[in-house]
Structure 1
């Protein structure tokens, strides 16, 4: 379905039913389809809501504004449009940074946050040269394939998932491909995330070359009060496609606990 909010039309995939909804935000280069194995595994217990963030998938790119706050506004608008009463945010990589900022606003109905190999709330540690190279990662089929096999994955993807990743990466709006490595990942929201008032689970991949377990431990966890870290064995950066069943189990367990948590999200 399409949801019109914050000046853009966002493509949203809704499945399942349940008292608690799970809102999925994808990585830089992905789309709502990145989560298809995970949402399929969870739709019998939860309502799953997966968004194409602006500039990706079938969502509009808008006016070229890809600030973390703008992306968080998009998600908040979609949640309001769907009238979700209780939900858990699940953000992957870029989507993880967006989820952190949105959670820091303490929106009504938020029960918890799952951060899957999330972008750091502080400026990225990647040097300018490396970030500049990233802007060319999704230019051609060959460049995407090399990025997937050499950087993003620790396990081989199925043929269909591999082709999906290539298609999603190539379809991204040019300005969206540049915005994350050159601007958005450098934003500093550390002071904001200190305001998160719900349980937080951070999930890392043992073989992640992008947001390694060491990087999560040093540049993410220290800024998230009470957050816990779980590591998926032999898994790279694309855990929703590499280890979907294991990830789905972690999300389900966390969501059930968060929904019954005594933590308050009241201001």
Structure 2
């Protein structure tokens, strides 16, 4: 499986992108990541980027299987998982399949393992985003608190239409919004950090408190006051520092 790697350090992590992202979406934060401390792997979900021609399936179970396969291909017996948005839910699914191999889980503005609390109108609007660029832009704009330039949110939306197929985009929505493995995820004891954005209207701080923090036994939250749903773009160096400290807590800056 194709993947992008960064660094050659002892702390290993596989990164899982979000609905609008791809393997390159974490690149802005790498300017703050020490390659001698960390080894990171990034891969495209089926239907995205270098895997755009894949036949699927386009769901989080496939993402989890592929994440484990990537780590196997790199010879990683132990690894951490970092996931953004729907990638956070995929990180939980990965950990339920390989709990003894996963050292830490870092979930960035993530949806939870249960069904997303979307009413029928909102779910319908999200479904329309598979074919409608303006719906994609509206979702990105709203999830960052409506405070960032529309030029940027339009760019994120437009890029997503180029890096993923509409079929994959549509199918992943059904998986991250409707899959429910809450009971399995709640049994996880892996050390977990959930990174929330103060301006995130898509995955608000209170939602994270009501799900991740209540359901997991070994979890804490870091709140980024500068960020909405996309801290990789909104405050990449702050995100890099937060992730680095969690993945390598023994390091003294």
Pairs within 5 Å for 1:56-135: 56-60=48-52, 62-135=54-127
**TM-score, structure 2 as length reference:** 0.88
Measured against aligned partners, the alpha-carbon deviations of 1:106-143 in whole angstroms (never above 9, x if no partner) come to 34542101011111111111012211211222535544
Alignment of 1:1-267 (within 5 A): 3=1, 11-44=2-35, 45-60=37-52, 62-152=54-144, 156=148, 163=155, 166-257=158-249
Compute the displacement of 1:198 (Å).
1.8
Q: Is the 8 A contact 2:89 2:176 kept in 1?
A: no
Deviation (angstroms), 1:155: 5.3
Alpha-carbon distance change, 184 to 146 in structure 1, aligned in 2, over 3 angstroms: closer
User: Shift of the alpha carbon at 1:245?
Assistant: 0.8
How far apart are 1:252 and its partner, in Å?
0.6
What displacement does 1:19 show?
A: 0.7
Cα–Cα, structure 1 residues 12 and 43, in superposed 2: closer, same or farther, change >3 Å? farther
State how many pairs are aligned: 250
CA distance 1:168–1:107, change in 2 (3 Å): same
Contact 1:104–1:194 (CA under 8 A) maintained in structure 2 = no
Distance 1:87 1:157 in 2: 37
Moved more, 138-147 or 200-209: 138-147
How far has the Cα of 1:68 moved from its partner?
A: 2.4
SS in 1 for 2:50: coil
Q: Deviations over 1:141-191 (max 9, x none)?
A: 544333333334665369789635521344311222112333442111111
The 8 Å contact of residues 106 and 193 in structure 2, kept in 1 or not, is answered as yes
Q: Deviation string for 1:24-57 (max 9, x for gaps)?
A: 1111121111100123321422112112111122
Structure 2 residues not aligned, in runs of 5+: none
Structure 1 CA distance for aligned equivalents of residues 155 and 145 of structure 2: 14
1:220-260 Cα shifts (integer Å, max 9, x gaps): 2212112001110031111111111111111111111389x
Structure 1 150/164 Cα, relative in aligned 2: closer, same or farther at 3 Å? closer
Q: How large is the Cα RMSD of the aligned pairs?
A: 2.5
Residue 200 of structure 1 and its aligned partner are, at CA, apart by 0.3
